[in-house]
A and B are shown apart, each in its own frame.
Chain A
C-alpha cells in the first residue's frame, strides 16, 4: 500500500510526505538513513533514548509516506532512504513558489504604474 501511495504522487501522497517530515524524531531518522547505508532498527536506535517500539512506529510513518523502504534480511528488517518523494515535493514547492514569483512581479508593476 505504501508503494501505491508513494507512486501516485497526488496531493494526498504529498501531504503525507510533508506530515511525515514534520517531526523531529523522524527527521533525525531520515538524517541517519540519508547517509546512504541501509540500517536495522537496532542501528537506528543506537545513541538515542528511544525504544525500539517508538522507532518502529516512526519508521512505519516514513514508510507509509514512501520516504523509507524496508526489506527483511534474515531475522531483521533493514531500512533504506528513498529520495523520490522528497524530490517530488521539492519540485512541487518550486512550482508553487515560481507561480508566486510571477504573480508578485505582476502585482509590482500593477501598483507602481
Chain B
C-alpha cells in the first residue's frame, strides 16, 4: 500500500506509435473508452463522455499538464473511479503521468497516479521522498492489520 500507483508495461510498438495513441485524442479515446470533444492542449481542460459500456452517462474531465513529445504526457483529473454514485466534483484531483522510454525497438511505458492525499503535487512529492523510508518500514506492520479479515 502506497500513496502512488505505478504501472509499467512493455509495448511492442515504437515510441512514435505509443505517443500518438496517448496524445491523439481520438486514439486515446479508443483504448481508454472515452469520447473526447477535442485535442489535448497543455494547460487546457479536456472534456468528453465516458464510452465504457454501462458508464456512458459519466463525464470525462481532465486538465492537460505536460506534453513533451515521446517522453511525457500528464494530466490532472478526478481519479479513475467509474462509480455513478460518486460526485466527482468533490474528489481531490490526482496527477497522472505517462512516461515513455525506448527499449529494443519497443516502448516501456510507466504510468503513475499520485496525489491521493489532496496535498498539492509539488509539496506531496517532497513529503513522499522524505517519508519513503518511514513508509517502507511501517507498511508491513500496517498491512498486516489491514489484511486481517473483518
A residues near B (Cβ < 8 Å) are 10-12, 14-15, 18-19, 21-24, 27-28, 30-31, 34-35, 81, 83, 86-87, 89-90, 92-93, 95-97, 99-101, 103-104, 106-112
The secondary structure that dominates the A interface is helix
Among A11, A28, A81, max chain B CB count under 10 A is at A11
Q: How far is the CB of B37 from chain A (nearest CB, A)?
A: 20
Residue interface mask B3-29, A partner, CB < 8 A = 1: 101010101110001100110000100
The 30 listed contacts between A and B (C-beta, < 8 Å) are A11-B86, A11-B90, A12-B92, A18-B116, A18-B117, A21-B3, A22-B119, A23-B127, A24-B131, A24-B134, A27-B134, A28-B134, A30-B138, A30-B141, A31-B142, A34-B145, A86-B146, A89-B116, A93-B1, A95-B81, A96-B5, A96-B80, A103-B32, A106-B32, A107-B31, A108-B9, A109-B31, A111-B17, A111-B21, A112-B13
The chain B residue sitting closest to A35, CB to CB, is B141
B119's partner among A19, A27, A35 (CB-CB below 8 A) is: A19
Residues of the B chain whose Cβ atoms lie less than 8 Å from the Cβ of A96: 5, 79-81, 113
Q: Is there an interface contact between B146 and A87, defined as CB atoms closer than 8 Å?
A: yes
Residues of the B chain whose Cβ atoms lie less than 8 Å from the Cβ of A81: 145
Q: How far is the CB of A109 from chain B (nearest CB, A)?
A: 8
Q: How far is the CB of B128 from chain A (nearest CB, A)?
A: 7
B141's partner among A18, A31, A109 (CB-CB below 8 A) is: A31
Given A11-B90, A22-B124, A23-B131, does the pair A104, B12 have CB atoms closer than 8 Å?
Answer: no
Tell me the bound Cα distance from A11 to B85 in angstroms.
12
Among B81, B127, B134, B148, max chain A CB count under 10 A is at B134
Residues of the A chain whose Cβ atoms lie less than 8 Å from the Cβ of B111: 100, 104
The chain B residue sitting closest to A105, CB to CB, is B9
Residues of the B chain whose Cβ atoms lie less than 8 Å from the Cβ of A93: 1-2, 5, 116
